[in-house]
Structure 1
Amino acid sequence: MLTLISSEDPFEAVVAKAEAAVRAGYIADYLTALRTGDVVTLNQIAYEVELLDAAHPGEPRLMDEIRGLHLPAAA
């Protein structure tokens, strides 16, 4: 998918939005696969997220966020 970047938006803001959308997409896909019991997709997402995390070593790990979905929320 290609995205048209207008000259009005700073490049960093556009990239940050795109990266946030990718992360949100992985979480949504993971939750769908978990709900439907699709183990193959769960494993594929885990693999892709590990690659994403490795490519962005200074950022919060998405795999940690996904693992945290299984923890109860604090009261």
Structure 2
Amino acid sequence: MPTFTLLVSEPSEPHVDEAAAAVRARYVDSYLSDVRRGDVIATDWTLYEIEMYDAANPEQPPLMDEIRGLHLPAAA
């Protein structure tokens, strides 16, 4: 019977950071697309997913804060 050996290695930090940035960007893009289309149900679902993402990644800055910041006027 064949045996398998699990080789565990630490992920490369730059790759992890790139992946996290891509996920965050995808959530922001989904949110903006939902708002542009006026799809309230999709917008609420995306906001729910963002809340779950923030809860699962407490070591990162909250993505929900960035979403809220999209609606604030820019400082001159």
Q: Which residue of 2 aligns with 1:70?
A: 71
TM-score, normalised to structure 2, is: 0.82
Residues 3-23 of structure 1: CA deviation (Å, up to 9, x unaligned): xxxxxxx71110110110010
Distance 2:38 2:70 in 1: 16
Is structure 2 residue 54 aligned with structure 1 residue 53? yes
Structure 1 gap ranges (5+)? 1-9
Q: CA deviation at 1:58?
A: 2.3
Distance 2:41 2:24 in 1: 19
Root mean square deviation, CA, Å: 1.1
Query: SS in structure 2 opposite 1:58?
Result: coil
Q: Which residue of 2 aligns with 1:41?
A: 42
Instruction: Give the ranges of 4+ consecutive aligned residues of structure 1 lying more than 3 Å apart after TM superposition.
Output: none
What percent identity do the matched residue pairs reach?
A: 58
TM-score, normalised to structure 1, is: 0.83
Query: SS in structure 1 opposite 2:50?
Result: helix
> Which of the two has higher C-alpha Rg?
2
Range 51-60 or range 16-25, more displaced: 51-60
Distance 2:27 2:37 in 1: 15
Q: CA deviation at 1:28?
A: 0.7
